[in-house]
Amino acid sequence: MSHPRVLRRRFFQLAVFTGLATVLTLGACQVFPFIPDHYTFSQSDAQSAVERKFPYQRNFGQFMTVNLSHPVLMLHPETNSVTIALNADFQSPLLRHPASGSFAVNSQLEYDPARAAVVLRSPKLERIDVADLSGEDAQQLNAVASVLATQLLDHYPIYTFKPQQLSFAGVAYQPGEIRVESHGIRVAIIEKSAG
């Protein structure tokens, strides 16, 4: 077999192989679902997750009992954070009478890989509104609300990813940057590093 004929045959085999690879690749793109570069879950999704935690009652020994209910989650794109407002009822022998009002907790968000969930990170008391209280009573309620904010809501999941949302054709993905937007919470989806 002459040298030019061998070269033509190899060129032909290479062209056929390249053509098949292109067809298979394009076919795979049409058959497999599209993995987006981000996922956005709605304010309603996050609200539903928070509502599962409430109503909630916490006793501080003989000192105070707090009942929390009716959470409302608000999005703050300008600070990349969320606020959760809660109705609160306080009962304590140290208060002149039971007190009712509301308080709000502001929190950043982060991804918890162990739970595959977007969680609240380091929530802080933003405000407390309780009628007819001042002085020492108001200071006590502020202290109690601050403890509740950090202990009750820190690392609370507001969205949990399903396994199929983070896997495609044997490749594992993970959430990246989390951005709070006006209509929902946008989570970047990136390929998981081998390390």
Q: According to DSSP H, which parts of the chain are helical?
A: 3-31, 43-51, 135-153
DSSP string, 139-186: HHHHHHHHHHHHHHHTT-EEEE--GGGGEETTEEEEEEEEEE-SSEEE
Indicate if the alpha-carbon torsion angle 75, 79, 80, 83 is positive or negative.
negative
Per-residue pLDDT of the chain (195 residues; tens, 9 = 90+): 556 665 666 655 655 455 444 444 443 333 334 567 899 999 999 999 999 999 999 988 888 899 999 999 999 999 999 999 999 998 988 777 788 999 999 999 999 999 999 999 999 999 988 877 777 777 888 888 888 878 889 999 999 999 888 988 888 999 999 999 999 999 999 998 765
Amino acid, single-letter form, for residue 148: L
- Is-contact 67 89, C-beta < 8 A? yes
The structural domains of the chain, with segments of one domain joined by +, span: 1-31, 40-160
Amino acid, single-letter form, for residue 136: E
- Residues 130 and 88: their CA atoms lie apart, in Å, by 9
Nearest 5°: phi and psi at 25?
-65, -45
- Residues 153 and 82: their CA atoms lie apart, in Å, by 12
Bond from prior residue into 55 cis (ω within 30 degrees of 0) = yes
Indicate the pTM of the whole model. 0.76
**CATH number attached to the domain at 40-160:** 3.15.10.40
